[in-house]
Amino acid sequence: MSGSLVVVGTGPGKAELMTPATLAALAKATDLVGYGPYLARIPATRPDQRRHASDNRVELERARHALSLAAAGREVVVVSGGDPGVFAMAAAVFEAVETGDPAWRTLDIRVEPGVTAMLAAAAEVGAPLGGDFCAISLSDNLKAWATIERRLRAAAEADFVIALYNPASKARPHQLDHAFELLRAIKAGDTPVLFVRAAGTSEANMVTTTLATAEAARADMRTLVIVGSSTTRRIGRWVYTPRSGGGLS
């Protein structure tokens, strides 16, 4: 007999942005596995539910633990923030399946979508993702910085709106500065740049500035940075990208 594994995202933070499907999966679970602060967001449901909190940056280890529990017959939910498929735990779970016990391939595994950070950040300021856009993680824990630079350059040259995940951490204080520098060589100085901190929570905070004056020091681990396309604009207190998204002259 074997159990099941559901990978969920709690959304950006506020309980009202967690989907009912995710809440239902959480309520049914015998075991919750996740990074401590994400588990702390989840209201207690059943008294017999076990919580397995782990540190940040041990995604693969955490995924293997969750798969072992499911293989032992438990009903496991792996808890991410945001959407589990965007720079979060779903990919780590499938990496663990691919490299782990062959029996894990027959497990009942499911992913529940959620509201990822860039959607919550965009909603706070208007509609900056209104045209074509891309999402890039600035973390080079798992990929080469040269790859990140290549993608930033391509995104700027093709005039995408750019959402930057993981823009800064204590271990990586200079990468966002490097990214802004690279983008300034390609994009106009008056391109809107948004720093949205704690989007989708009661502490949400937004700063709208321009590429010419954007300072990396404004970002921390809870910040999502959005760099506009050539047509992204301010209108009153809002920022939006027309649906043409830079394609009309």
C-alpha dihedral over 151, 116, 94, 57, to 10 degrees? 80
The region of 7-15, 40-48, 71-79, 173-181 touching a second copy under the rule CB under 8 A is 7-15
Residues 170-199 that bind a second copy (CB under 8 A): none
**For a second copy, which residue of 28, 151, 172, 178 counts as binding (CB under 8 A)?**
151
- Is residue 78 within 8 Å of 7, Cβ to Cβ? yes
As a whole number of angstroms, the distance between CA 193 and CA 237 comes to 14
CB atoms within 10 A of CB 173: 12
Binding mask 198-217 for a second copy (x = CB under 8 A): --x-----------------
Binding mask 40-79 for a second copy (x = CB under 8 A): -------------------x--------------------
- Orientation angle between helical segments 59-71 and 89-99, nearest 10 degrees: 70
Q: Should residue 33 be labelled a site residue for a second copy when binding is judged by CB under 8 A? A: no
**For a second copy, which residue of 103, 158, 188, 217 counts as binding (CB under 8 A)?**
158
Residues 215-234 that bind a second copy (CB under 8 A): 233
As a whole number of angstroms, the distance between CA 24 and CA 2 comes to 20
How many residues in the shown chain lie near a second copy by CB under 8 A? 81
Q: Bridge partners of 234?
A: 239
Q: How far is the CB of 219 from a second copy (least distance, A)?
A: 18
